[in-house]
Amino acid sequence: MQNSCSQVWNYCLDVIKEQIPEQSFSTWFSPITPMKLEGEVLTIQVPSQFFYEWLEEHYVNVLKHAITQALGPNGKLEYSVIVDTGSNLSAPYTVNLPNTNGGAVKQADKRQMKDYKGPFQLSSVSQDFLDSQLCAKYNFDTFIEGDCNRLARSAGHAVAKKPGVTSFNPLMVYGGVGLGKTHLAHAIGNEIKQNLPEKFVLYVSSEKFINQFISAVQNNEVQDFINFYLQVDILIIDDVQFFAGKEKTQEIFFHIFNHLHQSGKQIIMTSDCPPRDLKGLEERLLSRFKWGLTADLQQPDFETRIAIIRTKMEADGIDIPEDVVEYLAYSVDTNVRELEGVMISLIAQSSLNRKEVDLELAKQTLQNIVHDIETEVGIDYIQKTVSEYYKLNTEELKAKTRKKEIVIARQIAMYFSKEYTNHSLKSIGYHFGGRDHSTVIHAVQSVNDMIDTNTNFRNSIEDLKRKLKMRVAV
């Protein structure tokens, strides 16, 4: 019987449809076009190399089964991959991919990149319209160098000079909150854009990437999403720790990562901890994070803090006496964001009260905003802050109730009491309606577990920490 190529493919599609979810079917199989049938070899055309890789990795058995059903045990499948012409700079490339069914992939027609609907709501991806999402004020000039950031800064600089060419690919910058990860990431991006304006640099936070992916899935636009990211020359992705536990996003990112990396595109990532401590991330993704260079940002030392204060004040046109600079640098040693917060308050105090910035004003301001946690925060204050945060009554934290949201708030308040006060476990239990010390131990453990596994929860804890630390005067 003489089967036409599309008849065979339609038959395959019917078989495949039975076996996979509708969503996956429309994402990965609808875009395929049957090309030709020669004997027992069916050739299908797929939109990109990425697409081919994805099919081979995820649907090889489904495809094999369908081909066998349609063409018998000797049936073979070949792919024809549409190859885009790349950027203006690089010549079009051809692919010759092996395939698990023993067929070869034929070189397909070359064609210009089509106008994808990018996740950043671009009407077109022609170079003129590409927005890098970079913030101009975060550049290398404003990023003060110190021992705490020297390695990361110079690696960033090297990458910015020769993106994709150095062995720092990917470049992974990690460090605690407020230590300059986002600033440095933007600085690298801005520098590249300045030196190599034809490159498509893209900055994206991991949260944004996750949300874009979710909505692409919902709107059946996963292909557009992927195609958009595959065109990026320099991908800067901030706070990858938020990928934890998001398996589908990790999977898509893994493929985008591989594809960009293989094509010599630069990837820059930031994270709040070193790759080895990133929990909830797939091993294969983590192993790739370690391919290039991992550089950390540490808490700024005294001299760097002085330099940062001077530079920022100068940039704002504010004259500030040397003893005040030193006083601030000495008093706020946690991170740069807090240091900036204090400077802003100081400037605000000075202009509100029409007072010169002097040591006395600095001391007053600082007393009003920063309270030393060890000595100043008591269980009462923790209970008040946590119950306000969760819109509960403080008494409920001490009551017998086992309502889930109250139990969690109570555990969090116990956790902070253990972290931030010198009370014994027994005493903490006493302050929470006379509970015993094992309840407190259990609370601390539960909170730690949830911090490790639940991003929203971890964010709430970070919020609360900030609230507990910064008490703004009335």
Select from 48, 139, 182, 383 the one that contacts Mg ion (CB under 5 A).
182
Select from 34, 119, 156, 175 the one that contacts ligand ADP (CB under 6 A).
175
Alpha-carbon gap, residue 413 to 410, rounded angstroms:
5
Q: Residue 269 in 3-state DSSP?
A: strand
Residue 149 binding: pick among Mg ion, ligand ADP, none (C-beta 5-8 Å cut-off by kind): ligand ADP
The interface with ligand ADP within residues 114-153 (CB under 6 A) comprises: 138, 142-144, 149
Residue 117 binding: pick among ligand ADP, Mg ion, none (C-beta 5-8 Å cut-off by kind): none
Q: Is residue 418 a contact residue for ligand ADP (CB under 6 A)?
A: no
Residue type, 25: F
Select from 256, 336, 408, 428 the one that contacts ligand ADP (CB under 6 A).
336
DSSP string of 384-443? HHHHHHTT--HHHHHSS---HHHHHHHHHHHHHHHHHS---HHHHHHHTTS--HHHHHHH
Q: Is residue 308 a contact residue for ligand ADP (CB under 6 A)?
A: yes
In the complex, the smallest distance separating the C-beta of residue 227 from ligand ADP, rounded to whole angstroms, is 29
Q: Is residue 241 a contact residue for Mg ion (CB under 5 A)?
A: no
Question: Where do the DSSP E strands lie in 215-313?
Answer: 234-238, 266-271, 293-297
In the complex, the smallest distance separating the C-beta of residue 179 from Mg ion, rounded to whole angstroms, is 9
Q: Locate tokens 């956790």: which residue?
A: 415
Q: Is residue 207 a contact residue for ligand ADP (CB under 6 A)?
A: no
**Cα 401 from chain centroid (whole Å):** 38
Write each residue from 123 to 162 as x if it is in contact with Mg ion (CB under 5 A), else as -, in one continuous string.
----------------------------------------
Select from 118, 163, 180, 341 the one that contacts ligand ADP (CB under 6 A).
180
Q: Which is nearer to Mg ion, 266 or 271 (CB)?
A: 271
In the complex, the smallest distance separating the C-beta of residue 449 from Mg ion, rounded to whole angstroms, is 25
Query: CA of 265: how far to CAs of 89, 217, 341, in Å?
Result: 13, 25, 37
Q: Which is nearer to ligand ADP, 293 or 408 (CB)?
A: 293
In the complex, the smallest distance separating the C-beta of residue 345 from ligand ADP, rounded to whole angstroms, is 15
Consecutive H or E run containing 172: strand 171-175
What's the chain's length in residues?
Answer: 474
Q: Which is nearer to Mg ion, 182 or 271 (CB)?
A: 182
Q: Locate tokens 């259990």: which residue?
A: 442
Alpha-carbon gap, residue 179 to 165, rounded angstroms:
27
Alpha-carbon gap, residue 88 to 320, rounded angstroms:
51
Count of positions on this chain that bind ligand ADP (CB under 6 A):
17
Alpha-carbon gap, residue 246 to 431, rounded angstroms:
38
- Residue 122 gets the label, from left (phi > 0), alpha (psi -120 to 50) or beta, of beta
Q: Which is nearer to ligand ADP, 143 or 257 (CB)?
A: 143
**Positions in the binding site for ligand ADP (CB under 6 A):** 138, 142-144, 149, 175, 177-183, 308, 336-337, 340
**Positions in the binding site for Mg ion (CB under 5 A):** 181-182
